[in-house]
Structures are given as structure tokens and as C-alpha cells.
Amino acid sequence: MSYDEGQARKSRVVVETPNARREVEQTEAVHVPARSGVSATTVGVLVVLVVALVTILVLLLMNNQSTDTVNANIAAQQPTPVPQTTIIQQPAQQPQPPVIIQQPATQPAPIIVTPPSGTANSGTDDSVIQADVDKKLGDDPALSTLGITATVLNGKVTLIGTVKSQSLKAQVEKAVKSVKGVKQVDNQITVM
């Protein structure tokens, strides 16, 4: 950089010595740098503008490529025309026998119970006996709170539950045996 001598500074200095006092005038040239270049602020602004322009160009190129890809995808998805075909049906030949596929059973086969020939009405009778046994156990205040379950099948009553004494177990069995239609009692009540 070149310096211009644009200003001169004058100053007066008083020098005192024990014998005399004198005044000295000094002239100093001040060198000021010449402003022939570009300032740092201008350079910074130019750099920011160049970076912004490059970014915009890159984004435009990327957008152009993605638009081309989208257009290619749309073109690929459009259905192509299918040529017409003629289907000729021929008369059916002999019917094919059905194909039977046998699969292994996943559940056991149901067990079919046939009642004895003398008790054709046992389903109805069992429901009547069940209602009577439930009524008998529910009407007795000593037995209704025990929570005894009674099931009837072909006149046979199965008792399940828990009681506190052997006498209560016997009392429940006696009450059930007194119901009309009960043929047998399977007392599985446990005593605690």
C-alpha cells in the first residue's frame, strides 16, 4: 500500500534546563494509507451473495432432476393399451370328478350319547329334576348359603361343593334324594 503525506502535524515542546528555557517547534508528517482497495465489509457482502447464488443454483438443479424422476414415474404408471384378444369357448368335455381333500382333525370327534330306550323323555325330565333340586336346595335356609352345585343327567344328580361338616354333606344328599325323579346321587362334596 502506498502512503500519501496528506497532513503535517506541528507541535511545540518547551524544554527547561537549569540554565535556560527554550521552546522547540517540531513538525511531523502523518502518513495516511491510500484507499485504493475494497473494504472488508464489501468483501463480506460479496461472499454472502455468491454463496446464496450457488445454493439457489444447486436447489434448482435438484428440483429439475426430481421433476424428471416424477415425470418418468408417472409415465411408467400409466396403463399400456392392451391388445384385444378373442376367446373361443369350446364345448365342455366330460365333467371332472370332484377333488376331495381330507384334512386331519384338529378337535376330537364329538361323542354321541344315546339314552336308554326306556327314557326317551329324559332331557325334559332332567330339566324338571334340575329345577326341583335347585328349588329344594334354595328353599332350605341351612343349605341355600352353602353354594352347592347340582347337575342332573339321566336322573343321576352330581353334587359338587364344600361344606364344614360331614352332617351337612349328608343333609344335602338326603334333601336331593327326596326330589321326585332322582334315581341316583353322586355326592362329591368335600368336607373341610
Q: What is the pLDDT of residue 81?
A: 63
Coil/strand/helix, residue 133: helix
State pLDDT tens for residues 32-49.
Answer: 666 667 788 888 999 999
Q: What is the pLDDT of residue 40?
A: 85
Please identify which residue in the block is written with the cell numbers 361323542.
111
Q: What is the pLDDT of residue 114?
A: 64
Which amino acid is it at 123? G
Q: What is the pLDDT of residue 8?
A: 67
Q: What is the pLDDT of residue 96?
A: 67
Q: What is the pLDDT of residue 13?
A: 75
Instruction: Kindly report the backbone phi and psi dihedral angles of residue 3, in degrees, each rounded to the nearest multiple of 5, phi listed first.
Output: -110, 135
d(CA 81, CA 60): 35
Biggest alpha carbon–alpha carbon distance for the chain: 164
Q: What is the pLDDT of residue 70?
A: 65
In this prediction the pTM is 0.38
Q: Grid coordinates standing for 182?
A: 332322582
Domains of the chain as residue ranges with CATH: 3-33 (no CATH), 122-191 (3.30.1340.30)
Which portions of the chain are predicted below pLDDT 50?
1-3
